[in-house]
Chain A
Amino acid sequence: MRLVRTELVDSREILPDQWLQSFLAPELATGARAGQFVHARTGDLSGLVLRRPFSINTADQATGVITIHFRTIGRGTEWFTHLRTGDAVDMLGPLGRPFEVDPRSRHLLLIAGGLGMAGVRSLADEAIRDGRQVTVLFGAASARDVYPSSLLPDEVEYVIATDDGSVGHHGFVTELVPDYEAWADQAFACGPAPMLAALARQAAGRRERLGVAKLGRKRGAGKPDALGSTAARRKAFLQVSMEQNMGCAVGACLGCVIMGTNGAPQRVCREGPVFAADEVAWESGW
């Protein structure tokens, strides 16, 4: 975690009200892993007292540029859209725990709902760099909100679902998952909470349904990895990137919690934003 002064190098409205901004931040680009986020400070001093968390959408170590992808939903995000090339933005990062890919996983399924693309986007880069095959399932309300395929690496298979059927599958993105369930070694998702909860339900019985050999120790029953540990996450089929209103983003204020299956609130900024699906108490109502 570092406090870094970054510089805006590019800003584009890639979709209606959705922006893709690039910042020169070599310290963040080299240290960041897929799934982590930055906490950016607005320069608007007229009453905005909190930073804004953004998933690191891409991180290019060669150029030292990171990108963030966001929707304008309020005055803070609005402020970012008014930035000009060369403007400085104060960022705290990289924060949170990243996606954990099992070294043996060859086929990765990335599932994104709407702006959830920002959460899994950099994992596509990382996985392709590591020689894995990637399928991205993307869900949006309609064709006008579909993430442009030109912004994804050429190597990925990109499958779209829209709620109104204007492009791709007519229905929810979660309905596409069964087709890829057997193909995928691991799945990584980011999007609205109901979507993630549905995916967690789908993933729960996967092993029995498919008769998949258990990944992990070949012989004997070793001590199971502690819930929430990196090792346990690495073995989990489904990992999700969660969202919550955030205060400090370093674990001090306890504002951004979700309820864990262990009965304790889990900080999205510190234990997350990536969780194994079985760590989250989906029905807790939190």
Chain B
Amino acid sequence: MKAKRRVTTSKDVRPGGIQRGPTPRRKQGSVAAVGAIAPTRTAQPTASRVDAIAAPDRPARTVEVDLSVDLGRGLVLPNPILVASGTFGYGIEYGDVVDVDRLGAICCKGTTLRPRIGNITPRVTETPGGMLNSIGLQNPGVDAVIEKYTHTWVGWKTPVIVNVAGESVADYVEVVRRLEGVPGVAGIELNISCPNVGRGGLQFAIDAAAAGEVTAAVRRVTDLPLLVKLSPNVADVRPIARAIADAGADALTAINTLSGIAVAPSRTKPLLGNIYGGLSGPSIKPVALRIVYEVSQIVDIPVVAIGGVTELADVLDFLAVGAVAVQVGTAIFADPTLPVRLVDELAETCRSRGLSTYADLIGTALPRKPGAPSSKGVEYRP
């Protein structure tokens, strides 16, 4: 088991000047000291930290916030901001625009056993507050992914979680078997919920028995940390989540895209080549919140939330309903620097609230655990 990483944040020191007014916000895109790993941790009582905020004329102040998160089986992320599968390629596409070493983790593009050419175009379109995509799991196949990208991933501080898709249990098992032990692969995210492929994919996510079966089968062949991605395209996600957790998954990811369609401007056919696409973006956030809220109450494994994160408030919302980490997806297209900025802003928020760890922000909006049954008269329990 890897040692937990401590993430240190230090305030900008203003040489010679007196800091007035509210704390200045970090400039967009600036690479601050947040990602640095501190060898030691200054123990500071909460009270004095609050004092420090109240006394703006102190020249320098170092408050460390622990943003690390343990997703199980030794997968400890330096911070809880991940980039979602399919929106960040294999981590190299954005080049110098994004500092990948500051991300919590990278979920790479969905990977299958054999190469897939994906769906017919058009594949993406914008919708109100979101977008539809029907890429259809285009990818070069697991062997090519291992050959082309893993040697790059080895050099990164940020863990890379390989998103795995398949058409049958045997497919999933074989892909994971090939990824097992490959340097640079930090974990597996099972995509059992892709709505854009004809066969396979979604069928595992809409049936508790099938979801449990594929999770258990993969669990048997790997010691890699295993995340399983839930689909929102079901009536009740809870039995499925429970089955996956019981089958040995280390964490759940919620949610994949919602199935939808768009109509071509000519009004003579659906817009997307595949007809159906997956809806993502801010418009699905309430659905994602609901599912994270439901799931995090009934499973004991960590839940990684995804769905419409575009700003810090969204991150805090997902944490409040029980997620331990958050994936950023569609918003990266508009603002590639957003995930790194969210890391800074989350640390900043913890600091301003006098928290030494963001763990205190998790689950604050969940109902309290039911206590002993009331003895006062008869209660209606549905």
Residues of A within 8 A of B (CB): 1-3, 41, 47-51, 76, 90, 92, 244-258, 263-265, 270, 285-286
Closest to A50 in B: B126
Q: Are B124 and A48 in contact (CB under 8 A)?
A: no
Q: Are A248 and B273 in contact (CB under 8 A)?
A: no
Most buried by B among A92, A251, A265: A265
The distance from the CB of B328 to the nearest CB of chain A, in whole angstroms, is: 12
Contacts of A286 in B (CB 8 A): 120-121, 273
Q: Are A245 and B123 in contact (CB under 8 A)?
A: yes
Given A1-B97, A92-B97, A49 contacting B331 (CB threshold 8 A): yes
Please choose the segment from B67-75, B86-94, B218-226, B251-259 that sits at the chain A interface, where 4 or more of its residues have CB less than 8 A away. B86-94
Most buried by A among B93, B129, B135: B93
| Set A90, A244, A250, A255: member contacting B133, Cβ < 8 A | A255
Closest to B129 in A: A47
Contacts of A1 in B (CB 8 A): 94-97
CA distance A1 to B87 in the complex (A): 17
Please choose the segment from B50-58, B334-342, B359-367 that sits at the chain A interface, where 4 or more of its residues have CB less than 8 A away. B334-342
Q: Are A248 and B129 in contact (CB under 8 A)?
A: no
CA distance A11 to B133 in the complex (A): 33
Contacts of B162 in A (CB 8 A): none
Given A2-B97, A257-B121, A264-B117, A248 contacting B332 (CB threshold 8 A): yes
Most buried by B among A2, A251, A254: A254
Q: Are B123 and A257 in contact (CB under 8 A)?
A: yes
Q: How many B residues touch A, CB cutoff 8 Å?
A: 40
Contacts of A254 in B (CB 8 A): 86, 89, 109, 118, 123, 135, 138
Most buried by A among B118, B131, B331, B334: B334
Closest to B335 in A: A41
| Set A49, A90, A255: member contacting B130, Cβ < 8 A | A49
Contacts of A245 in B (CB 8 A): 121-125
Query: B327 interface residue, CB < 8 Å from A?
Result: no
Given A49-B331, A285-B120, A253 contacting B126 (CB threshold 8 A): no
Most buried by B among A50, A258, A264: A50
CA distance A169 to B157 in the complex (A): 62
Closest to B311 in A: A45
| Set B95, B128, B138, B333: member contacting A247, Cβ < 8 A | B333
Given A254-B109, A265-B117, A248 contacting B87 (CB threshold 8 A): yes
CA distance A245 to B335 in the complex (A): 18
Given A247-B131, A257-B138, A252 contacting B121 (CB threshold 8 A): no
Closest to B90 in A: A252
Contacts of B334 in A (CB 8 A): 41, 49-51
Query: B282 interface residue, CB < 8 Å from A?
Result: yes
CA distance A42 to B330 in the complex (A): 15
The distance from the CB of B235 to the nearest CB of chain A, in whole angstroms, is: 28
The 8 A CB mask of B192-232 against A (1 = contact, 0 = none) is 00000000000000000000000000000000000000000
Contacts of A265 in B (CB 8 A): 117-118, 138
The distance from the CB of B179 to the nearest CB of chain A, in whole angstroms, is: 20
Given A1-B96, A248-B87, A255 contacting B135 (CB threshold 8 A): yes
Contacts of A244 in B (CB 8 A): 121-122
CA distance A246 to B130 in the complex (A): 14
Given A51-B334, A256-B124, A3 contacting B97 (CB threshold 8 A): yes
Name B272-291 residues within 8 Å CB distance of A.
273, 281-283
Q: Are B336 and A92 in contact (CB under 8 A)?
A: yes
Q: Are B129 and A49 in contact (CB under 8 A)?
A: yes
Contacts of A270 in B (CB 8 A): 93
Q: Closest 3 CB pairs between A and B? A: A252-B89, A255-B124, A252-B93
Query: B183 interface residue, CB < 8 Å from A?
Result: no
Contacts of B120 in A (CB 8 A): 285-286
CA distance A250 to B83 in the complex (A): 15
Contacts of B87 in A (CB 8 A): 248, 252-253
Query: B181 interface residue, CB < 8 Å from A?
Result: no
CA distance A76 to B126 in the complex (A): 10
Sampled A-B contacts (9; CB under 8 Å):
A47-B283, A49-B130, A248-B89, A254-B86, A254-B123, A254-B135, A255-B135, A256-B121, A265-B117
Contacts of B331 in A (CB 8 A): 49
Given A1-B95, A252-B88, A247 contacting B335 (CB threshold 8 A): no
| Set A51, A247, A250: member contacting B94, Cβ < 8 A | A250
Contacts of B310 in A (CB 8 A): 49
Q: Are A3 and B337 in contact (CB under 8 A)?
A: yes
A sample of 4 more A-B contacts (CB under 8 A), given A49-B130, A251-B93, A255-B135, is A47-B129, A49-B129, A49-B131, A254-B123
Closest to B135 in A: A254
